[in-house]
Structure 1
Amino acid sequence: MAKAKNQYGNDSISSLKGADRVRKRPGVIFGSDGLEGCEHSVFEILSNSIDEAREGYGHKITVTRYADGSIEVEDMGRGIPIEWNPNEERYNWELVFCELYAGGKYKNNQGQNYEFSLGLNGLGTCATQYSSEYMDVTVWRDGFEYKLHFEKGENKTGTPEGFIKTPCSSKKTGTRTHWRPDLEVFTDINIPLDYYTDVLKRQAVVNAGLIFVLRDQSGSKFETIEFCYQNGIVDYVSELAGEQALTSVQFYQAERQGRDRADKEEYRVKLSCAFCFSRAGARTEYYHNSSWLEYGGAPDKAVRSAFVSAIDAYLKQNNKYQKNESRVTFQDIADALILVTNCFSTQTSYENQTKKAITNRFVQEATTEFLKENLEIYFIENKDEADKIAEQVLINKRSREQAERARLNIKKKLSGSLDVANRVQKFVDCRTKDTSRRELYIVEGDSALGSCKQGRDSEFQAIMPVRGKILNCLKADFDKIFKNDIITDLIRVLGCGVEVRTKANKDLSAFDLAGLRWNKVIICTDADVDGFQIRTLILTMIYRLMPTLIEQGFVYIAESPLYEITCKDKTYFAFDDAEKAVILKKLAGKKVNIQRSKGLGENEADMMWQTTMNPASRRLIRITPEDAQATADMFELLLGDNLSGRKEYIAENGAQYLDFADIS
């Protein structure tokens, strides 16, 4: 009998073997099968060289980025053991390069091989080899040079032992690994130069005095960059603070011994921290066993707890708080704090193989106590600096609270969709609730409101008058923008809220396109200089506060005719000089009266309907997604802070606009 298509039975279970354990599931080891995972595979090889150097074997590590996407890491360490291992009854190269969970770092807590190690699980070297198109390894140790060649996870050296061994200088030791990540494993192997410069700089910071050399191939030439911080994190914090330092750089270090749980093994921790407070700029970075903890974990929790506790205690003891004032938060402190911790432990619990956070309970407890003790002493011995810190933290706190109150007031002011007509002065709504039909005309002034109101189709067309020239939203800050009644009224009428695409103002974002009450937002202003300027300012507001409306094609400009041409009892409208010429040619020999079109407020209701509001005869210019960037660039040039660029543009193009200038 044929097996059912979806039958799930005993023969359905299978396991991955050998290199397939990594090649088919690289994300399990490297966190991703994309570029980030490929980058992490590089760090796995680099970390082995760093562990060697930190143990005192070698003072320089060289990383080469080749044009073909391959990578080479060379150190001056002891060299990876290659030959026969009698305990395991296998060659060491097999254990290191072809066996997951094998390596020389499982006895670290007993002081063997590596006391404080980046690598822990015996996964990195093997996993990187398995995920490579090829890998060439050269090892110098014990007076010999060993060479190995792997392809797609298999040893292809071609000798019975699996390596080629030749005598060399007895003094030369180290390991050179050259490999190319496999596109069959990773979706992208084009690791950018920025990744290497960032990683090597960070490693130079946390490995004081260790030299990292980056060689980047460009054509047939190699450009070399060297990274070295002789005093490690102290030099780095000083560099970050620059001339904006509010206090001197403090550096503390200590050793502790403990356990994560009563029934767990005891281990050692080396703690170090450098910090200062700054008038401008802030940074907190955490490293453990020289791995950058992007997500922090235990040390981040410790720093938060210690600094809040110590600074809050100082503020209370010195009567710095105002009556009934709330306690400082870590954000208030972090906004002026430049801090780097660089800790090591003989046992480390990472959240996963990518090593972006650690979870050791004892590391957190020891770091918290260590920082609290040193901060208390620092504040006692350096009262001037302590007072500067207290003052700056309180400024940050009160600014944050003021901004939060403003944000809540803005949210309250802009929220809600009921009774818009009652809350927004002079707004005239339409009858239909069908948003697929509703149109909002934003018109210039109260006079235009009257003629548009009479000339519209009140079933689906609403009118919102703008009184005068609104604020230039490119130059104004958000506090000023949201205190402007015209702008807040417009936002409330539109109904979709605002989107502010900057990190500093992300709390102001409350944009919801589904809340937009209109199918078309039509800007309708006079065809003169003032009208053009008001139109531009309204578009600027929409571009800065809700650019999605432009990108999604909801925003239009209503063209107003430039000329009224009357012949007998009939009136013709021309929207430009070319149209005027066509109409005059058609009426050749007849008596005509030509005049510039009146402002919107002077138009009769039937004329407003015919020229501007009737869907069958009006002319609307849709602001398309393709126009958005060009519009943004022009706004920045004409309304932004680039004074020299604006002068240059006016000098080159100003003559084109002389006809529009108000020159008597």
Structure 2
Amino acid sequence: MATKKQDYGNDSISSLKGADRVRKRPGVIFGSDGLDGCEHAVFEILSNSIDEAREGHGRVITVTRYNDRSIQVEDMGRGCPVDWNEKEQRYNWELVYCELYAGGKYDNLTGDNYEYSLGLNGLGACATQYASRYMDVTVWRDGFEYKLHFERGEIVGGLEKTPLPKSQVKKTGTRTRWLPDLDVFTDIAIPAEYFTDVLRRQAVVNEGITFKFRDQQEDGSLPEEDFVYEHGIQDYVAELAGEGALTAPVFWQAEKRGRDRADKPEYKVKLSAACCFSNKVQVIEHYHNSSWLEHGGAPEKATKSAFVSAVDKYLREQNKYQKNESKITWQDIEDCLIFVSNNFSTQTSYENQTKKSITNKFVQEAMTEFLRTNLEIYFIENHFDAEKIAEQVLVNKRSRESAEKQRLNIKKKLSGNIDISNRVQKFVDCRSKDVEKREIYIVEGDSALGSVKLSRDAEYQGIMPVRGKILNCLKADYARIFKSEIITDLIRVLGCGVEIQNKHVKDLAAFDLNNLRWNKVVICTDGDVDGFQIRTLILTMLYRLTPTLIQQGYVYIAETPLFEINCGDKTWFAYSDKEKADIVKALEGKKYKIDRSKGLGENDPDMMWLTTMNPETRRLIRVMPEDVERTAEVFDLLLGDNLQGRKDHIAENGARFLDLADIS
């Protein structure tokens, strides 16, 4: 018996409340509902203890891993406030453990308290409590011991408050023990290696603070391992380098103030870095507010820019380059560098809640200048070391180039490839050789070529102009198809060959997806009838000659806006009549101007980049047919020889698309 579908109406919208906001969507807070998310919950609790210790409240943090998968973090800080809050007219334990985005750090961005905070987002304690089977919190402060017990996001029994004995009346700190809930996470078996790795990293970037790890054994014993670096990243770099490094470790630090943007508030950043050069070990690590930036972000960009600039400057000034030799790259430096940065800022823009990358523009600018300046001074003051560094970097560079040249020669010999840029008229390549990043834009005509060329990112976006109308590859035979320079040039630019075995194929290679030179094949045409026709003809060609590209999802269509709507100093782009109507409705009562979008060749570069080329703002439609046979039938119907079938189809369905017709 068929069930009735539920209507989707005003009563269909609901929001998650309380603990369900985390328990039903843990990936939103912790980045994953798997083991990674469970591990991140540990780091959220640990972060609060680290913030206390960094402020000078307690120098020992103890983390315990129990056999039942529960975890305990204990510090010697001031103790989390949990008693009555007169200002909020609520208990602080409710704010800390039962309310997301609440905490003691929001009012202190100026640096009065928790100047450089890791646990700044007001999520950690509450989100972890919500995601736990149980959580027990013990707090010592103000001469009292406070106890809380939660189960599956709910308080059980209320707050217990007991006076401390006189011998312990000055005791302060917070102990949190919790069991991650298997109803929330798919896996809670956090390995001991995770704890040792995290605690070692935290010891590195929080100099002088001792991190103790206790791992319960089968017999119930709790062996203990300590992690502490008295001089932080200096000691860590020396440890990594070991014996026989090219240069001795150096340490630099500075404080700077600035803004991410002119209209944003000023904030402070404390920069520190330690590094040395080695031909045996290569390590690059970045930390911000004690958090390891696994994906880098601003500090990584700053480091690459500063080191390449400073080392290249030294090589040029000392005449180390051979005649006509190319400039060094970051890879040449990275291959012999041990570098650890440890920065703190009073305001931090993390890429997401998991804090694995930061995006602060000022941090990047400040760190770039900081490193470049210190490197230039270092090269002047340490000439002998500078010479060793220069020699090793050039060895790396020339070895890389030699290997790359050999690889390309072998590839050329095996595949018979030639320089496509020189052979294909008006094809514009990109700089990157990384196929995973490369995109080819297929555009119509020279005018579109000029516009797209000015607006593209030349690092990874290439352009192939289609000159005139392309053949209808469903109607043309192979002899005509492979006589067309437009088609054969486009196939050569793609690099993957054709899926056709025919005597007319000439010098085009047999299809091999591994030889595709692009990660995205983007068809970019005007939004008018002619543009739609050219787009369809290109798709038809790809479907007949390289259908695997469509099946595997490599082919995209770039949507171009139909209308530009200006109101004051703001601009909106509408990609359909409905979008135009929605924007106009929102601007009701205001003075605005609507312009029908021009062809690609008439658009200014900024607009083209914003609407068509920028991965952050463009609209791409992936051409991914679920049924290839059905696609073939539609293509054949619309572009093949079945004239009567096409007339019947238009008669039956034409009225549905009348609004899209460009009829004036």
* TM-score (structure 1 length as normaliser): 0.62
> How far is 1:497 from its partner?
8.3
Note the residue ranges of structure 2 that are not aligned, 5 or more in a row: 418-508, 516-547, 549-664
The question of whether the paired residues in 2 share the 8 Å contact of 1:139 and 1:145 is answered with yes
Name the SS of the counterpart of 1:138 in structure 2.
strand
State whether structure 2 residue 361 is matched by structure 1 residue 364. Answer: no
Q: How does 1:298-447 map to 2 (within 5 A)?
A: 298-415=298-415
Q: Note closer, same or farther for the CA distance 1:8–1:406 as it changes in structure 2 (3 Å cut).
A: same
1:18 corresponds to = 18
> How far is 1:223 from its partner?
1.9
1:539-575 deviations in Å (ceiling 9; x for gaps)? xxxxxxxxxxxxxxxxxxxxxxxxxxxxxxxxxxxxx
In 2, Cα distance between the equivalents of 1:8 and 1:299? Answer: 47
1:55 corresponds to = 55
> How far is 1:263 from its partner?
0.7
Q: Note closer, same or farther for the CA distance 1:148–1:318 as it changes in structure 2 (3 Å cut).
A: same
The question of whether the paired residues in 2 share the 8 Å contact of 1:415 and 1:497 is answered with no
Name the SS of the counterpart of 2:242 in structure 1.
helix
Range 247-256 or range 164-173, more displaced: 164-173
Q: Note closer, same or farther for the CA distance 1:7–1:378 as it changes in structure 2 (3 Å cut).
A: same
State whether structure 2 residue 169 is matched by structure 1 residue 166. Answer: no
1:249-283 deviations in Å (ceiling 9; x for gaps)? 11000000111111111111100000000011201
State whether structure 2 residue 180 is matched by structure 1 residue 190. Answer: no
How many residues end up aligned between the 2 structures?
422
Note the residue ranges of structure 1 that are not aligned, 5 or more in a row: 418-491, 499-513, 515-664
In 2, Cα distance between the equivalents of 1:497 and 1:207? Answer: 47
Letter in 2 for 1:93: W
Larger Rg: 1
1:102 corresponds to = 102
Q: How does 1:537-548 map to 2 (within 5 A)?
A: none
1:37-67 deviations in Å (ceiling 9; x for gaps)? 0000000000000000000000100000001
> How far is 1:6 from its partner?
4.6
Letter in 1 for 2:196: T
The question of whether the paired residues in 1 share the 8 Å contact of 2:308 and 2:333 is answered with yes
In 1, Cα distance between the equivalents of 2:373 and 2:115? Answer: 27
Name the SS of the counterpart of 2:72 in structure 1.
strand
1:614 corresponds to = none
The question of whether the paired residues in 2 share the 8 Å contact of 1:26 and 1:185 is answered with yes
In 1, Cα distance between the equivalents of 2:31 and 2:185? Answer: 11
The question of whether the paired residues in 1 share the 8 Å contact of 2:110 and 2:267 is answered with no
1:347-403 deviations in Å (ceiling 9; x for gaps)? 000000000000001100000111111111100010110010000000000111111
Task: Please provide the CA RMSD for this pair.
Answer: 2.2
1:44 corresponds to = 44
1:554-599 deviations in Å (ceiling 9; x for gaps)? xxxxxxxxxxxxxxxxxxxxxxxxxxxxxxxxxxxxxxxxxxxxxx
In 1, Cα distance between the equivalents of 2:3 and 2:186? Answer: 36
State the identity as a percent. 71
Name the SS of the counterpart of 2:216 in structure 1.
strand
> How far is 1:121 from its partner?
1.2
Name the SS of the counterpart of 1:222 in structure 2.
coil
Q: How does 1:226-245 map to 2 (within 5 A)?
A: 226-245=226-245
State whether structure 2 residue 264 is matched by structure 1 residue 260. Answer: no
The question of whether the paired residues in 1 share the 8 Å contact of 2:284 and 2:338 is answered with yes
In 1, Cα distance between the equivalents of 2:145 and 2:45? Answer: 19
In 1, Cα distance between the equivalents of 2:108 and 2:320? Answer: 48
1:616-656 deviations in Å (ceiling 9; x for gaps)? xxxxxxxxxxxxxxxxxxxxxxxxxxxxxxxxxxxxxxxxx
Q: Note closer, same or farther for the CA distance 1:44–1:497 as it changes in structure 2 (3 Å cut).
A: closer
1:277 corresponds to = 277
Letter in 1 for 2:83: E
In 2, Cα distance between the equivalents of 1:104 and 1:242? Answer: 42
Name the SS of the counterpart of 2:223 in structure 1.
strand
The question of whether the paired residues in 1 share the 8 Å contact of 2:302 and 2:368 is answered with yes
1:612 corresponds to = none
In 2, Cα distance between the equivalents of 1:245 and 1:275? Answer: 11
> How far is 1:119 from its partner?
1.0
Q: Note closer, same or farther for the CA distance 1:98–1:497 as it changes in structure 2 (3 Å cut).
A: closer
In 1, Cα distance between the equivalents of 2:409 and 2:160? Answer: 72
Letter in 2 for 1:199: V
The question of whether the paired residues in 2 share the 8 Å contact of 1:26 and 1:131 is answered with yes
In 1, Cα distance between the equivalents of 2:280 and 2:119? Answer: 36
1:491-519 deviations in Å (ceiling 9; x for gaps)? x99x9989xxxxxxxxxxxxxxx9xxxxx
Name the SS of the counterpart of 2:57 in structure 1.
coil
1:176 corresponds to = 175
State whether structure 2 residue 85 is matched by structure 1 residue 88. Answer: no
Displacement over 6 Å in runs of 4+: 495-498
Letter in 2 for 1:335: D
> How far is 1:409 from its partner?
1.8
In 1, Cα distance between the equivalents of 2:514 and 2:111? Answer: 61
The question of whether the paired residues in 2 share the 8 Å contact of 1:350 and 1:358 is answered with yes
> How far is 1:89 from its partner?
1.1
State whether structure 2 residue 79 is matched by structure 1 residue 79. Answer: yes
In 2, Cα distance between the equivalents of 1:166 and 1:41? Answer: 31
Name the SS of the counterpart of 2:128 in structure 1.
helix
In 2, Cα distance between the equivalents of 1:241 and 1:3? Answer: 68
The question of whether the paired residues in 2 share the 8 Å contact of 1:26 and 1:33 is answered with yes
Name the SS of the counterpart of 2:77 in structure 1.
coil
The question of whether the paired residues in 1 share the 8 Å contact of 2:299 and 2:367 is answered with yes
In 2, Cα distance between the equivalents of 1:76 and 1:7? Answer: 56
> How far is 1:135 from its partner?
0.3
1:513-533 deviations in Å (ceiling 9; x for gaps)? x9xxxxxxxxxxxxxxxxxxx
Letter in 1 for 2:153: G
> How far is 1:297 from its partner?
0.4
Name the SS of the counterpart of 2:106 in structure 1.
coil
> How far is 1:166 from its partner?
3.3
In 2, Cα distance between the equivalents of 1:49 and 1:354? Answer: 17
